[in-house]
Structure 1
Amino acid sequence: MSKIAALLKPTSIAVIGASNNSQRIGYIVIRNLLSGCFNGPIIPVTPKYTAVAGILAYRNIDAMPITPDIAILCTRAEFNPDIITQLGEKGVKTVIIIAATMMSASSDSNAINYHQQILINAKRHNMRIIGPNSMGIILPWLNLNASVSPITANKGNIAFISQSAAVCTTILDWAQNKQIGFSTFISLGDACDINFAELLDFLSQDTKTDAILLYIDSINDARQFMSAARAAARNRRILVLKSGRTMAGRAAALLHTIGEGGLDEVYDAAIRRSGMLRVHTTHDLFAAVETLAHSVPLRGERLVILTNGGGPAIMAVDALSDRGGKLATLSADTIQRLSAVLPAYWSQANPIDIMGDANSDRYRQVLTILLDSDDFDALLIMHSPSAITNSTDTAKIITETLHQHPRSQRINVLTNWSGENEAAEARSIFTQARLPTYRTPESAISAFMHLVEYRRNQRQLMETPVSIGEISADLHYVRNEIHRLLQQNIHRLETHEIRPLLTSYGFTTLPTWIASDAAEAVHIAEQIGYPVAVKLRSADIRHKSEIHGVVLYLRDANEVANAADAILSRVALHYPSARIDGLLIQRMADRSGAQELRIGIRNDPVFGPVIILGEETIHWNIERDAVVALPPLNMALARYMVINALKHHKIKQRSSLEQISIPALSRLLVTISQMIIDCPEIRAFDIHPLLVSGNELTIIDASMDIAEFDGDIQQRLAIRPYPKEYEQPCQLKDGKQILLRPILPEDEPAHKAFINQVSEEDLYKRFFSDVGELNHEALAKFTQIDYDREMAFVAVYQDMIIGVARALSDADNTEAEFAILVRSDMKGCGLGGILMTKLIDYAHQQRLARLTGMTMPTNRGMITLAQKMGFSIDVQLADGVVEMLLELNHH
């Protein structure tokens, strides 16, 4: 993070290729640096001039009097690899390569080679790169405009990171007009080195940043991105505008980046899973920015609409209903108080229509009554042009009333002043008062729903999953069977071949027999009983329905023989060169009242294995017919996936069919997720169909592609799964057998019970304050961790948690801060030492440089344990703390 700090908190800057020519980038960068009044040395480097913009220039990099924190390259692309080397030898650690110096990314091989050479030269000197193809950076709180943008950014609380320079300038121009400011403004360009993940890690801890906006063309390191995004989204509100929603858009995006494409639905799933909110258009982004700039976190979703016109209010309600929003219900007391100041014929409900003859004083009276109530969580104030009252005067009264009322600081207030000329000045008043204002009812509702959807997503992600116990597949058998098939050079498996694997995981499947011809098919059908299904078996024909290769409900020998002969004849006619491996015979499953779903596993080029859920259709298209989720799944996340599929009509609950059991389907998805984790050789898996009838789920047909996996098993998933390899049985001094294992989200109830059995004194020593009753949000943060950057080992005895040891790594993964808590009645049995040993072993495995911790001087037990384990102890009497440090020497 130190190099990111050098980028975002620089004290000196060099401009390589500085110029006095106003048409050159080197001139624009120097001009912007000077106009921003940056309080630090600016060092122009150029062989052409002795001074640039009145500042002494230096002929070459060696001549620079100091080593700057940042060097900005305004030079031609072919010179940049050598310049990187020279800067590295000078000791420069951060470089920004400006947009116009980048060669065309449409020449893929040239661009990739160029990036590789830059990175090779930079890594030799432990240097970090922004760009190439960057517009630069703007840090308003440092008065730093180190960019080529013709527009600067005002001071504010929003950080913006973009891969597109054009989007940067568009946002800046719009924000200037709206008087919206930024804490940080970064153009990543091609992001060949410093990426979204590293910046998210830094900005999520930045006190000047309350919200973060991302414009993404593509992601290169999905695992790093997901880990950083999940951590940042718990501390900051993050909105994402992702381009390439369509196939044509993805193709266009790849012309401007060197990343891989990946399905848009997978990006959508990744953004949701990380806790961020996606917007789909620039218009939505503008609305979201304005809302974020002037909003507080929602406490609830109840919206009150105050209006002087019924029509616009109805449009707002329609938009709210379409997006799944909630109107607040007015209390009897509020209605009574409003009735005292409004005409007798007012609506007496929400929306509150105060009539077209409402003057500014009526707005003031109603607004005051509403602010005195606790009936709502957000307020939309609307105004349509009126001959009775002046819209500007009304806007002034509203801002004054809000400013004077203490509750206005705790709720979100949005405004919609309709019209153009009549409303322009009023909207300007709201902008100056830092109140979000919108031109249409629909855009105001859209902005409000961004806040609602963000809150809902965060709450759903923090839901405590139901524990279903360990999925007990015979993993030894499964691994051996896959290995055997691969040794026989078998890579495509059909239903009958994968049935033993599926049965091992507890899936219900139909027995399947193989027939070589029509006669054998009849013989099998007579043995298993009618009705039966006859299906083509051919590795060369994947979509059997295209040639009617599946015939169902065959009720006697003649029907079976005719169907078998017809299938084989059609293959011979249409696919004469296809291999025919026989026919599959299955007894028909009872489909009365059942629904046919399709579930699959695909390997996305960016995010790796993903799970897909939808209805079975003939021409199945993932983008159109399915929802997507990233493994690993627990019951809460799987339930969220099913509900999402129902909500977006990827699965339809039909009244004529038995209702789908969401818990049963969720458990099946969790099991598939575990199968992905267990078996890296699975490249694709398709259940088509899955027959669902209430709680009964039966796999009718399935196929699987397998291949040797020679990559890093730990890195193949975008989110690190539960690290079972850390489970360890141990014995306490008194002989009790315990299990040390990583914490799980399902542990929340047990963790709460554990905290309740720790004395107040011990909790105070651990948390440095009175803890009190921990709510769900606090407990979720303890139990729902990212195993990539945090670890918590729980000691479990007879299904009870009796101790916890935690290690939270920094973003650079160089050191971790630890903490240990033991149930008060379990002290003295050696558990603290067992937990500390486990943490130290973990730190060595992660190749951390050091473990650090902090405790109180009165916590003699912790201090003695740390000393025994080799920690150095530093007593800070002035601060009343004891610092503990263990050097591990891995960096």
Structure 2
Amino acid sequence: MSIRNLDALFSPTSIAVFGASNRPGSVGATVWRNLSADYTGKLYPVNPKHANLDGVKTYARVGTLPIAPELAVICTPPATVAPMIAQLGARGTRAAIVITAGLDKAQKQAMLDAARPHMLRILGPNCIGMLAPHLGLNASFSHIGAIPGELAFVSQSGALVTAMLDWAGSRGIGFSHFVSLGEHADVDFGDMLDFLGSDPKTRAILLYIESVEESPKFMSAARAAARNKPVIVVKAGRSAAGQAAAASHTGALAGSDAVFDAAIARAGMLRVNSLQDLFLAAETLSRFRDGPSGGLIVLTNGGGAGVMAADAAASEGVPLTPLSPEVLAKLNAVLPPNWSHSNPVDIIGDAPGDRYVNALEALKGEADSAVLFIQAPTAIVPSTEIANALLSSVTQQPRRVLGSWLGEGAVKEARQIFRNAGVPDYDTPEEAVRAFAMLRTYRQHQIELLQTPPARSAKRPVDMPRIRAIVDAVIGSGRELLTEPEAKDLLDAAGLPVVATRVVKAAPGEAIVAAKELGYPVALKILSHAISHKSDVGGVRLNIANEAELKEACAAMLERVRELRPDADVQGFTVQRMIKLKHAHELIIGASVDPVFGPIILFGQGGTAVEVLADRALALPPLNTPLALAQIERTRIAKLLHGYRDEPAADIDGIAQVLVCVSQLLADVPEIAELDINPLLANHEGAVALDARVRVSAQCPAGAKHFAIQPYPQALVETWPMKGKPVTLRPIRPEDEPQHRTFLEALDPEDIRLRIFYSRRSIEHSELARLTQIDYAREMAFIATRHIEGDGEETLGAVRATIDPDNIDAEFGVIVRSDTKGSGLGTKLMEKLIAYLRERGTQRIVGTVLRENKGMLELARRLGFQEGANPSDPDDHTIRFVSLALQHQT
């Protein structure tokens, strides 16, 4: 999460190249040639074997350099790297690119140890380097440069870097930054996302990922960056094999590519399958990110092109918007009688520019739909004339039009007119539809990004003492797998609906008694600590209708199990009444722990053929109802659950609640390693778990602290009496945006100037999103709210702290509504923030205050803050710097 000193890496005013050379074909020679070509900062070659290079004085070692370079590029042997980093750090250098390959584990660690005391950042080792084309900076050994542009590309693959530069250059694609991470010993994807997410020169971030190591850091940075600009990912390795030793169906997915997909979705990013799609998505999202995505309307002068677009839409799952009667009437008024009268809207091949303009105007009635404009050149009306006629319409905000000019030479100028105007443009209708499908997926991921559920959001009560007793007893006995009755008891205590089950000895007598109590028909299952998948060994018999069948089933089952699993210790049977639900669906809900992203949750079509059907969707906890519903919708069986013909819709909200309960269970019980509910039987009346499999581990791999996404910190919510009336003090949430806007707009302009140093009262959505959609791992904002008439609430005050990546300093800001002054609310908010920061181990809380803001300075003094001059500009007497040490020094 650290961007400390990355400005020295990506915007250096001086660079030293260690190992610079004029030896043809060497890495040092290539790097020196690339840097000396266009870089305008100070450049120092370092090599004891040369007096000068290309007429530039060459230095023998770090100590002989006239200054401490901001950036060092190291191309020397592995054994020299760590000592060189130590010398550079002591001299004052704050960033290095280690192009050197072949560092062993000890050498790599020595390099990091040498850099740490000086906070010197390292890109690499074993990397191509990096390019910042807007600075003319090519600190790499790529033989190809980069065109300046607004896309940032970060890659784990060095070979891919040069291939991408070649490919992009031939297509005129430019970059703000082009970075090879190499072995990413220090600077990694999380750091790059943090840096590029706030970089004004970058409008979209492109990533080529082979692996992710620190998932909480990666997810935190990705979610922050994805709120600011599109982040698009290509990941290698889609076909990872499942873990054969897993005890559950869900466990077999741990470490799979499907888990990475779930993480990308939850982080608000977009994953694509190829490098071509990477740029296609970047073009679309950076130009059309806020355009409509409900459906697509095809506007064309050629019927064939419209059919091609319609076929592509069907293939990509993109809905073509049915035209409303009002829109049809408007189109009839401006189009010739023989137009298509449907979507695709074919306005006939001889269409002049004004016919396009009028049709586009009429289509505004379908406000939630984008318009794909397709034009095939004709001899009647030049394409350039049509492009100019449409220019004012296609550039209106919000953007609604995607363009596809068919052909090359005849439409080249028209295509350029659209591109210069910022209209996304595609070579073919199929490409345009594929891009629109990506936009729709991206939109769904952005919706999920806004969700920050608490760890505990299930509606059903949870019996934690009962759950703890079950888990502790199993682990205490030296087992990991719960028996079916134990698993069902656990789920029942967690608030999940389960079918009643009786445990009996491995003899017919007790089974018959249990069956009479439950009522026939019943199901009989083997009970053994050693058998996880009972059906694999003939350990399940369903629909037993009477006592005779039950006796026969008991004997046959014991014989079959002894034959197939002679090593298994059989404790007995379980007997349960057969559940016959009309219109029921067999589902599976599961959980396991991924080695990279931690706990994951599965939903899909269940039953014995679950692996064969492979209809499933994964999600990262914590889940709330909207996220659970979104997970359900990503499966094929979701269409059946919504009902069809005479089949009623299933209780989808009830199914979602089961998913939320499982999410809560993973947060509350860190010992859970794997869980399967299969089948979960669901119909229009509800859902019930017929079978369950749970594995626990004393290693505690689950629990909220192992979630890749930190849950909403519900434990920090408290009620405080303000002037005798209750006020809620709680962390801010994404859904607070509307009331936060109201709060800010109601503030006294002078208070805003004193607290925030600016006077405008209006605030953009992007800024509000930044204030409300926070990552609790890296910042905290507490708000004070009060209930108003109805079910709403209003915000009375807010306090915020942005914590540096090393948890040393937290910079605060606090503001309360004018009508609450004198109530002690500002003091209470500050005390809550200070207590929170002290608990998380932050060393110091700091702030800058206008000297004229007497109230804030007095509050700071009362709370024990020290006051002094502005450390970044001691001569600025308008600003006071306040700080409070939070940890006792020993």
TM-score (norm 2): 0.87
Contact 1:874 1:883 in 2 (8 A): yes
- Equivalent residue in structure 2 for 1:540, among 498, 506, 530: 530
Amino acid at match of 1:41: K
Q: 1:264: which partner in 2?
A: 257
Partner of 1:94: 95
CA distance in 1, matches of 2:294, 2:869: 48
Residue 247 of structure 2 corresponds to none
Q: 1:457 maps to which residue? A: 445
- Residue number in structure 2 paired with 1:84: 85
Alignment of 1:685 with 2:675, yes or no, is yes
Letter of the 2:226 counterpart: A
Q: Who is 1:151 aligned against?
A: 144
Given the alignment of the two structures, is residue 503 of structure 1 paired with residue 496 of structure 2, yes or no? no
Establish whether residue 118 from structure 1 lines up as the match of residue 117 from structure 2.
Answer: no
- What is the rounded CA distance, in whole Å, between the counterparts of 2:185 and 2:645 in structure 1? 53
- The reply on whether 1:382 has 2:393 as its aligned counterpart is no
Deviation, structure 1 residue 579 = 2.1
Partner-residue secondary structure (3-state), 2:231:
strand
Note the C-alpha offset of 1:551: 0.8
Task: Tell whether the 8 Å contact from 2:299 to 2:347 is kept in structure 1 after alignment.
Answer: yes
Which residue in 2 is equivalent to 1:805? 799
Instruction: Name the counterpart of 1:254.
Output: none
Compute the displacement of 1:293 (Å). 5.7
> Distance between the aligned counterparts of 2:724 and 2:333, measured in 1?
75
Structure 1 residue 622: deviation in Å? 9.9
| Other-structure match for 2:462 | 473
1:869 Cα shift?
A: 1.6
- Give how far 1:75 is off: 2.7
Residue of structure 2 equivalent to 1:488: 477
1:209 aligns to 2:202 (yes or no): yes
Number of the residue aligned with 1:257: none
The answer for the alignment partner of 1:253 in structure 2 is none
Query: Does residue 774 of structure 2 align to residue 785 of structure 1?
Result: yes
Q: Which AA in structure 1 matches 2:115?
A: A
- Corresponding residue of 2:35: 33
Q: Distance in 1 between matches of 2:809 and 2:702?
A: 23
CA displacement, residues 180-234 of structure 1 (integer Å, 9 cap, x when unaligned): 2211111112222111111111111111111111111111111011111111111
Structure 2 CA distance for partners of 1:865 and 1:434, relative to 1, 3 Å: closer
The RMSD of aligned alpha carbons is 4.0
Report what 2:248 is aligned to: none
Aligned match of 1:256: none
Residues 703-760 of structure 1: per-residue CA shift (max 9 Å, x gap): 211122368966411011233443456555x555665443455767887897798788
Structure 1: how far apart are the matches of 2:546 and 2:808? 71
What SS does the aligned partner of 1:581 have? strand
Mark the CA change 1:510 to 1:435 in structure 2 (over 3 Å): closer, same or farther.
closer
Report the residue type matching 2:429 in the other structure.
P
Q: 1:334 to 1:476 in 2, by over 3 A?
A: closer
Q: Does the 8 Å CA contact 1:593/1:656 hold for their aligned counterparts?
A: no
Aligned 1:726-741 pairs, distance under 5 A: 726-728=716-718, 730=720, 732=722, 734=723, 740-741=729-730
Q: Which residue of 2 aligns with 1:69?
A: 70
Unaligned runs of 5+ in 1: 104-109, 251-259
Following the alignment from structure 2 to structure 1, what is the Cα–Cα distance between the partners of residues 643 and 599?
Answer: 28
Partner of 1:867: 861
Q: Which residue of 1 aligns with 2:174?
A: 181
- Quick one: distance in 2 between partners of 1:473 and 1:20? 72
Structure 1 residues 737 and 355 mapped into 2: Cα distance closer, same or farther (>3 Å)? closer
Counterpart for residue 399 of structure 2:
411
845, 850, 859: which one pairs with 1:851? Answer: 845
CA contact 1:677–1:721 (8 Å) conserved in 2: no
Point out the more displaced range, 262-271 or 491-500.
Answer: 491-500
Deviates more, 1:777-786 or 1:303-312: 777-786
- Report the AA paired with residue 210 of structure 1: R
Which residue of 2 is the match for residue 107 of structure 1? Answer: none
Aligned to 1:563: 553
Choose 682-691 or 499-508, whichever is displaced more: 499-508
Partner of 2:430: 442
**For 1:263 and 1:713, how far apart are their aligned partners in 2?**
21
**One-letter code aligned to 2:677:** I
Residues 467-502 of structure 1: per-residue CA shift (max 9 Å, x gap): 967764233443344234322223211231133432
Give, in angstroms, the shift of residue 588 of structure 1: 1.8
Counterpart of 1:864, as a letter, is E
Gaps of 5+ in 2: 244-252
For this pair of structures, how many residues does the alignment match? 865
Partner of 1:289: 282
Measure the CA separation in 2 of the matches of 1:713 and 1:24: 51
- Counterpart mapping for 1:315-394 below 5 A: 315-325=308-318, 327=320, 343-357=336-350, 362-363=352-353, 366-367=356-357, 370=360, 374-375=364-365, 378-384=370-376, 386=378, 388=379, 394=383
Q: Give the drift of 1:277.
A: 1.1
Question: 1:397: Cα distance to partner?
Answer: 3.4
- TM-superposed CA distance for 1:334, in Å, is 8.2
Deviation at 1:664, TM superposition (A): 1.6
| Cα deviation, residue 454, structure 1 | 2.1
C-alpha displacement of 1:340: 8.0
How big is the shift at 1:615? 1.4
| Partner amino acid, structure 2, of 1:660 | A
Counterparts of 2:821 and 2:759, CA distance in 1: 21
CA distance in 2, matches of 1:763, 1:517: 78
Alpha carbons 1:298, 1:451 under 8 Å: kept: no
Of 648, 651, 656, the residue aligned with 1:661 is 651
CA positional deviation for 1:93: 2.6
CA–CA distance in 2 between the matches of 1:595 and 1:332?
39
Task: Give the CA deviation at 1:687.
Answer: 0.9
Once residues 223 and 663 of structure 2 are traced to their aligned partners in structure 1, the CA distance between those partners, rounded to angstroms, is 20
Matching of residues 646-725 of structure 1 within 5 Å: 646=636, 658-709=648-699, 715-725=705-715
In 2, Cα distance between equivalents of 1:294 and 1:739: 41
Report SS of the residue matched to 1:182.
Answer: strand
Compared with structure 1, are the counterparts of its residues 521 and 751 closer, same or farther at alpha carbon in structure 2 (3 Å cutoff)?
Answer: farther
Task: Select which of 831, 836, 843 maps to 1:842.
Answer: 836
Give, as a single letter, the amino acid of the residue that structure 2 aligns with 1:239: I
SS of the residue 1:71 aligns to = strand
Q: What is the letter of the counterpart of residue 488 of structure 1?
A: S
Secondary structure at the counterpart of residue 228 of structure 1 = helix
Task: Tell me the SS of whatever aligns to 2:467.
Answer: helix
The verdict on how the C-alpha distance between 1:594 and 1:858 changes in structure 2, with shifts beyond 3 A counting, is farther
Aligned-partner SS, 2:682: strand
Q: SS in structure 2 opposite 1:597?
A: strand
State how far apart, in whole Å, the 1-side matches of 2:842 and 2:650 are. Answer: 48
Give 2:58's aligned residue: 57
Asked whether the equivalents of residues 239 and 277 of structure 1 are also in contact (C-alpha less than 8 Å), the reply is yes
Q: Which moved more, 1:365-374 or 1:298-307?
A: 365-374
1:219 partner amino acid: V
SS at structure 2 position matched to 1:234: helix
1:693–1:280: structure 2 CA closer, same or farther, 3 Å change rule? same
Does the C-alpha gap of structure 1 residues 694 and 769 become closer, same or farther in structure 2, counting only changes over 3 Å? farther
Relative to structure 1, is the Cα distance of residues 448 and 567 closer, same or farther in structure 2, using a 3 angstrom cutoff? same
CA distance in 2 between counterparts of 1:135 and 1:507 reads: 53
Deviations, residues 751-783 of structure 1 (Å, cap 9, x unaligned): 7897798788867876755657x9998876655
Alignment check: 8 A CA contact 2:453 2:712 kept: no
Residue 57 of structure 1 aligns with an amino acid whose one-letter code is: T
Native 8 Å contact 2:745 2:761 kept in 1: no
Structure 1 range deviating more: 816-825 or 152-161: 816-825
Contact 2:303/2:346 (CA < 8 Å) preserved in 1? yes
Aligned residue among 514, 520, 533 for 2:503: 514
| Cα gap change, 1:792 to 1:658, in 2 (>3 Å) | same
Residues 673, 702 of structure 2: 8 Å contact kept: no
Q: Which moved more, 1:416-425 or 1:22-31?
A: 416-425
CA distance in 1, matches of 2:264, 2:728: 35
